[in-house]
A = this chain, B = another copy of it.
């Protein structure tokens, strides 16, 4: 029998407690042994909850109990999570976590300690919620050179963009709604500025390419500057708009960015709507593939955490399959990336802009007078910036 301690009884922690109980039989079968909750660490007493009889307030109780072989970390942040997880690994306990900040900041060190101690450090739930993307990258896409990973990795911003597109609503209005519904946080910066998907793509790329991708090295643009007017042009093009975190490997160079993109219906990410996430993976043999599912949500994320618990309890030793060294992976800037852009210009500049941007298409939207949208020719980011300054544009969106 395997005994589990859950650190942090918030949304995901309570989901883990629920899944362990609800699906106990299926878990037992797949783990090859019973998996039982023994402790829940929280500052609160959690009276009246299913955690009540498991509550402890001191990590030492868990550390010193040799019966506990698996620790689930769902506290979030790094202030407590980092020392606690490290102590657990040092004490010979395996850890499964949903904490992307912890994994992004301390992943290579924690993986190294786990390997040294012969235990597991798994983090499926840190990226893409219930979507088994890390396990797939580590165990399934092993015969391919992965040339691109591009994901819709943040449910909050995808919900906001979907609403803006479908209802023509303004960003501030949809954000306020999302906050009311609990889909967006009261301080939404990590989501809407793109930092959350940036951390996640850094984790995924590190796992695939074996070296540490620093999320601060990745060009990151959020969705806060997108107006309902911009989106009206996207809609007119029959396209959609998605915040995409992208990592590409070309020759011996690596390119990464997080930015909103206009995506057409031929792109598999086009119809990933609302709070759903999806990760597009292109391999040199397998071609275009995509994994799709809920990127957040209590039970969905808990499902991924408990799948890690099952892997640990089954003794599959998956951590040894994860090659993520502390060496830094150099990520190139986006200056030489080539693409089309959707730009808005005032009417008096349409003719000039059409020429300067080698525009293939001029788009006009009913009700938006005095301006037009242009789909530019394919050019580098650098070239685009120069021409945009020269012409004077109202706004621009990148196209895929």
A residues near B (Cβ < 8 Å) are: 15, 19, 22-23, 26-27, 29-31, 124, 130-132, 135-136, 139-145, 210, 265, 268, 270-271, 283-294, 297, 299-300, 302-307, 309-311, 314, 316, 321, 323
- A265 — nearest CB in chain B belongs to which residue? B271
Dominant secondary structure of chain A at its interface with chain B: mixed
A141 with B270, Cβ < 8 A, contacts A286-B130, A302-B285 known: no
Q: Are A142 and B307 in contact (CB under 8 A)?
A: yes
Chain B residues near A124 (CB, 8 Å)? 140
Chain B residues near A15 (CB, 8 Å)? 285
From B210, B290, B307, give the contact of A140 (CB < 8 A). B307
Q: Are A22 and B285 in contact (CB under 8 A)?
A: yes
Q: Give bound CA distance, A305 to B143, whole Å.
A: 9
Can you list 22 A-B contacts with CB-CB less than 8 angstroms, sorted by A residue number? A22-B284, A23-B145, A23-B284, A26-B145, A27-B142, A31-B142, A130-B286, A135-B139, A136-B140, A139-B311, A142-B307, A142-B311, A143-B304, A143-B306, A143-B307, A143-B309, A285-B303, A286-B293, A286-B304, A287-B300, A289-B294, A314-B321
Q: Give bound CA distance, A145 to B30, whole Å.
A: 11
Q: Give bound CA distance, A130 to B31, whole Å.
A: 27
- A266 — nearest CB in chain B belongs to which residue? B273
Nearest-neighbour CB distance to chain B for A96, whole angstroms, equals 11
Q: Are A139 and B139 in contact (CB under 8 A)?
A: yes
Chain B residues near A141 (CB, 8 Å)? 132, 307
Chain B residues near A311 (CB, 8 Å)? 139, 142
A143 with B26, Cβ < 8 A, contacts A132-B136, A136-B136, A285-B303 known: yes
Chain B residues near A285 (CB, 8 Å)? 15, 19, 22-23, 130, 299-300, 302-303, 306
Q: Are A299 and B271 in contact (CB under 8 A)?
A: no
